[in-house]
Structure 1
Amino acid sequence: MVHGTHNAVEDSRNKDIKIYINGEFFTRENAKISVLDSGYLVGDGIWEALRLHKGVLVFLQDHLDRLWQSAATVGMQFPFTKEELVAEVWKTLKLNNMHDDVHVRIMITRGIKKTPSQDPRLTISGPNVVILPEYKKASPESKEKGITLFTSTIRRGSPDYLDPRLNCHSKLHEVQALIQAIEAGADEALMLDVNGFVATCNATNFFIVKDEEVFTSTGQYCMNGITRAKVIEACKINNIPCHQKDFSLFDVYGADEAFVTGTFGGLTPVTKIDGRQIGDKPFGDFTRKLSGLYHDLIDKAVLNG
């Protein structure tokens, strides 16, 4: 069985979901995009992931701001406003009668090409918009077990050629890193930046705990994670020292605890890195405390609607 940060509780309702494509709805089997789509041809697309928790799209404004920043970065013009996109998301959720424990993936590509090409001027349609909602509750067994990491030789890119903060469809280097980790017997990959400092994982952000202080990368070479930002915010609110700085594998191997963050899984503990045991239990006490503080922010977001 595949083990990692995206392990979810099986839910039979997912076989009957309706998927939004450009204003229409399709079953999973019939949800299709043209082979001339920019995302399929050259990875020219951006995406966002949201969680529906107790009827509320949690941290919605943060996700929308990140999506619009991604669009500006790649020079993609949206023919709709944030409010109009959110309305389509809610339409999709209501059609599927979804209220809780839902993961929503929004994918937007530049559109259909006249012919296979990188050239955006050969795009002959508006952006293709897909909204894919699934019943996805993180597996509690996987969270308690934790994950193992292997440090990949594939580095996170420099901001001057593919900024790691960009949520784009071009993920091949992260897939390569993950394949290395899997072949080494680990669950997921730890990735270094171009200077050899710890940056992020292939699909999540990375933190370590040492002497009840929290450390994560500078943020220049890692994904612009909303959950990462919320953990940093939770530390600030609760007077927990949290440092965004360069650190190396030397610091990682000597950490008291380590964990990764992501929209789907929240905080997931790390038990081993490159075969070295991290901490004295699968789910460290400090990581568990931080996970609780993160969920307090989710509860506050739900309360505020």
Structure 2
Amino acid sequence: MNWTLINGEFVERSNAKVDIEDRGYQFGDGIYEVIRVYNGKMFTVKEHLERFFRSAESISMSLEFTIEQLATQLQELIVKSNLKLGIIYMQATRGVAPRTHAFPAQNVPSTLVAYTKELERPLQKLENGVQTILVEDIRWLRCDIKSLNLLGNVLAKQKASENGCYEAIQSRGQEVTEGSSSNIFIIKDGVIYTHASDNLILKGITKDVILNLCVDNGIQVEERTFTKEELAAADEVFLSSTTSEVMPVIVIDGNAVNNGEPGLVTRKLQALFEAEITRQCGTLK
């Protein structure tokens, strides 16, 4: 049976409803997270929920539960849904109130919705790599907040889709920021570079796992901005996200990266990342 978590209660998916005056529907006034589930266990759940609460604080939105309470409810949702491999999608909005731009009264509770979805690992793409295109980053200046306002991301992803590509790599002028739903890494002369976690990108949970793995395994990595020229000249390129893991990029705007093959450093990081999944959630099947 499919279950949805709504404000602390488990409801059959077919009966799950949200009020038309919910501010998430009216304004995109809310935040969200996507958490990967392997072997029925949430991967990096603490980090995801901490970011969820950090995003809420950034938009001055109060949540009616603690991280610990939410983690318990999400795990119960996994069990009730019998989810072994997939994701949890969750979002919180500023609640239900008559439509006006200013925040509603303080006594309006936020709305929390969460549900599960079966989702296989993209094994073929992880093995062979993916194609990407470059697009101009037209989003707002608080991309560090994981908000429901994703129209810029949607338009970028649609352009990638229309061009037969897996992802759109965004840039502001010459400065590469991130993908439409991923962080971007380049490798040059054995050194990994990725955009610093500032207001222009989302501080990716998978990105942080990768950075820690690099430090622990003696792989040189620098968080700094890099240009489209540096991207084009990179020895290897990969992207990361909750569902993409460590994904090799083999084509950018029709031009091959590393002769169209995933590189050795990327392969090493894939192996290290899979080992971290196994450490937290058990052996991958």
Task: Using structure 2 for the length normalisation, give the TM-score.
Answer: 0.91
Secondary structure at 1:186 match in 2: coil
Deviations along 1:37-86, one digit per CA (max 9) or x if unpaired, are: 11110000111121222343221211121111111101111111111111
Q: Report runs of 4+ in structure 1 exceeding 4 Å deviation.
A: none
1:198 and 1:249 in contact (8 A); partners too:
yes
Change (3 A) 1:233 1:156: farther
1:209 and 1:256 in contact (8 A); partners too:
yes
Structure-to-structure mapping, 1:22-41, within 5 angstroms: 22-41=7-26
Q: 1:240 aligns with which of 219, 223, 242?
A: 219
| Equivalent position of 1:82 in the other structure | 67
Q: 1:228 aligns with which of 207, 212, 215?
A: 207
Amino acid of the residue matched to residue 235 of structure 1?
C
| Equivalent position of 2:197 in the other structure | 219
Q: Does 1:142 align with 2:121?
A: no
- CA-CA distance at 1:199 after TM superposition: 0.7
Query: CA–CA distance in 1 between the matches of 2:105 and 2:252?
Result: 45
| Equivalent position of 1:279 in the other structure | 258
Secondary structure at 2:259 match in 1: coil
Percent of residue pairs identical: 27
| Equivalent position of 1:178 in the other structure | 157
2:185 and 2:193 in contact (8 A); partners too:
yes
Query: CA–CA distance in 2 between the matches of 1:147 and 1:229?
Result: 22
Q: 1:207 aligns with which of 169, 185, 205?
A: 185
Q: Does 1:108 align with 2:108?
A: no
- For structure 2, the 5+ residue unaligned runs are none
Amino acid of the residue matched to residue 181 of structure 1?
A
- CA-CA distance at 1:122 after TM superposition: 5.7
| Equivalent position of 1:293 in the other structure | 272
C-alpha RMSD over aligned residues = 1.9
| Equivalent position of 2:235 in the other structure | 256
Q: Does 1:155 align with 2:134?
A: no
| Equivalent position of 2:143 in the other structure | 164
- For structure 1, the 5+ residue unaligned runs are 1-15
Query: CA–CA distance in 1 between the matches of 2:165 and 2:67?
Result: 39
Task: Using structure 1 for the length normalisation, give the TM-score.
Answer: 0.86
Change (3 A) 1:265 1:187: closer
1:18 and 1:28 in contact (8 A); partners too:
yes
- CA-CA distance at 1:255 after TM superposition: 1.1
Query: CA–CA distance in 2 between the matches of 1:165 and 1:199?
Result: 12
Q: 1:91 aligns with which of 49, 65, 76?
A: 76
2:132 and 2:253 in contact (8 A); partners too:
yes
Query: CA–CA distance in 2 between the matches of 1:239 and 1:260?
Result: 20
> Which stretch of the first structure deviates more once superposed, 47-56 or 206-215?
47-56
| Equivalent position of 1:9 in the other structure | none
